[in-house]
Amino acid sequence: MTGEHSPLQPASPGAAAGPDDLKSPLLPLHEPIQRTQCRVNSIFTLQNFYAVLGPLLSLLISLLVKFDGGKANSGKMLAVIAWVFTWWVTEAVPLAVTSMCPLFLFPLFGIASADSVAHSYMDDVITLVLGSFILALAVERYNVHRRLALNVTMVFCGDPLNPPLLLLGLCAITFFVSMWMHNVATAVMMMPVATGILQRMPPKEEQSAAVNNFCRAVVLVVVYATPIGGTSTLTGTGVNLILVGMWKSLSPGSKPISFNNWFFFGFPVAILILFAFWSILCLLYIRKGSGRALAPYLDRSHLKRDLEALGPMTFAEKMVLSIFGLLIILWMTRRITDDIPGWGALFNGLVGDGSVSVLVAVLLFIIPNKKEEGQKLMDWNECKKLPWKLILLLGAGFALADGVQSSGLADVLSGALNFLESAPFWAIAPLVSLTSSIITEFITSNDATATLLIPLLFHIARTMHVHPLLMMVPGAMATEFAYWLPTSTPSNVVGFATGYIEIQDMLKIGVPLKVAGIAALSVLMPSLGAIVFGTADDSQYN
């Protein structure tokens, strides 16, 4: 050693730090320090403008809007609604974040205590959603939906190939899956089944007109059969759950809407719309001779090969299907009719649909899957995919509905709508359905549209002295008629993202389908709806 120190060398990234390294500067001196430049145009964006617009509207309404009769909280409630709906419609902040705003806005504005508003975020309807989605995740985990789809499609394929019959089979299975699962989950699960069929077709540039039209039709089946099927059951879409929860909140003394009630009305409506959709689709996209053009690429043997690739049903698949069937049976038999009470009477009516949903979901965490030692049918890591956005949106909707009632804003709205009393009875369902179905095209979330419209329709009906469900049910169901634009609802986006369809395709199907949906509601709501929901008895609203 000479006793001389060598110049300090930068340590390699993987080297251990020595005594000399501790003396080296924390930042390299030979590299200029990067400074972040804040640009003015990054602050003044449309998104930031919308973020400020909500609180600004709320402040202006609080200062300027005063209602007579000592209803000070009515103006405050209107201010909260303006804030929340502005953020919902513009998506200035994520939908789920906006949905949490009532938790702090209600106490700050003096509308309700923190405890009371928090209760709206966890009730029987919310637990019903949680349990149903956990079961849906189990179905997805074990590919039960794919096996079911291939089996049904083989039945409808026909020999020789019958394209309209095959499309009807795809409609049926997508419709059935959507009855029990959320629309977005159904679209995401069923689209691979549809595109799997289309992968056997030649490339786009080599397709004949008949093959190209069939490819478009297959994707359109998933796009439209999904929301149609969702309207048929209480758990099929969040809109139905929002309606049920708000009806319970807005009219606590009235008969609640049970799973059976909704099914007896929603299923016939959905079936009518489904057959209308299939007829429109075949008329516009399936030409004579399509079967011969498609036969070289698609027949029963192809479907059979895919089904064999899945192998025999495992124990886990059989148990998930059994639990799925058990849930449906328990829902259908909890409360059958007023004369036949069902098994719920054994518990003095204390058990709700949400209780059943959670009970069945818990079974998934107890029953082993017999794939690996100690593994159950479900584990909590899978539940990270739960749609918390929808759950928070439901809670926010219920909180706002409660706030409209407790603040006195409901009475103010009713008084301002006296002019509607002169509207003819026969026009109620068509007008409500048309209005709701058009608004939903421009608000991406159908749930947000329903949350906005349902309380308003309730108070309009009270003003007109008609049963509120006569307006609330068609208004809610029509929010699912978002058929025109790719951005109208997330399930539309799933289909549009495949690249097989264009906006023109959605308009060609969507316009006549919306007319068919409005017509179905206009006919069945005053007739079948009067029997199922008892809307003919409006004595308490006169």
Residue with the bigger pLDDT between 33 and 85: it is 85
Does the pLDDT of residue 417 top 60, yes or no?
Answer: no
Q: Could you write out the DSSP letters of every residue in 501-542?
A: --HHHHHHHHHHHHHHHHHHHHHHHHHHHHHHH-TT--GGG-
**pLDDT tens digits, 178-212:** 888 777 767 877 887 787 778 778 888 878 888 88
* Look-up of token digits 């109620």: 428
pLDDT tier at 461, thresholds 50, 70, 90: confident
pLDDT tens track for 324-372: 889 878 877 887 665 677 888 888 878 887 888 899 999 999 999 888 8
pTM recorded for the entire structure: 0.67
User: Residue 26: which pLDDT band, with cuts at 50, 70 and 90?
Assistant: very low
Q: Does the pLDDT at position 398 exceed 60?
A: yes
Q: Does residue 27 surpass a pLDDT of 80?
A: no
Indicate whether 41 pLDDT > 80.
no
SS3 category, 49? helix
Sort 241 into a burial class: Cβ within 10 Å, 0-12 / 13-18 / 19+: buried
Between 443 and 434, name the one with better pLDDT: 434
pLDDT tops 70 at residue 20: no
The band of 539, judged by pLDDT with boundaries at 50, 70 and 90, is low
pLDDT tens, position by position, 125-169: 788 778 878 887 888 888 887 787 677 777 777 677 788 988 998
Cα angle, residue 410 at apex, residues 110 and 461 outer, rounded to 5°: 160
Give the pLDDT of residue 19.
46
Matching residue, tokens 């059951």? 233
pLDDT at 428 over 90: no
For residues 442 and 519, the answer to whether their CB atoms sit within 8 Å is: no
Quote the pLDDT of residue 10.
45
Q: What is the pLDDT of residues 520-538, one digit of tens each?
A: 999 999 899 889 888 877 6
pLDDT, mean of residues 260-271? 93
Secondary element (H or E) of residue 496: helix 490-496
Among 57-61, 233-237, 383-387, 444-448, the range scoring the smallest mean pLDDT is: 444-448
Residue 473: per-residue pLDDT:
92
Bridge partners of residue 376, in order along the sequence: 368
Is the Cα torsion angle 65, 66, 67, 71 positive or negative in sign? Answer: positive
- Average pLDDT of the residues in 423-447: 76
pLDDT tens readout for residues 62-114 = 888 887 765 678 888 889 989 998 888 788 888 889 989 999 999 999 999 99
pLDDT at res. 125: 73
Q: What is the pLDDT of residues 158-169, one digit of tens each?
A: 677 788 988 998
CB neighbours of residue 317 within 10 Å: 22
Which letter, b or e, does each residue of 26-56 get, where b requires 16 or more Cβ atoms within 10 Å of its Cβ? eeeeeeeeeeeeeeeeeeeeeeeebbebbee
Note the Cα 321 to chain centre separation in Å: 23
For position 16, what pLDDT does the model report?
45
Quickly state the pLDDT bin for 225 (edges 50, 70, 90): very high
User: What does the pLDDT look like over 270-311, one tens digit per residue?
Assistant: 999 999 999 999 999 998 888 888 877 776 777 788 788 888
Structure tokens at 202: 């030649």
* Range in 60-74, 386-400, 402-416 the model is least confident about: 402-416
- CA torsion sign for 309, 315, 320, 322 is positive
Q: What's the mean per-residue pLDDT of the chain?
A: 81
What would the 3-class secondary structure string for 82-108 be? Answer: HHHHHHHHHCCCCHHHHHCCHHHHHHH
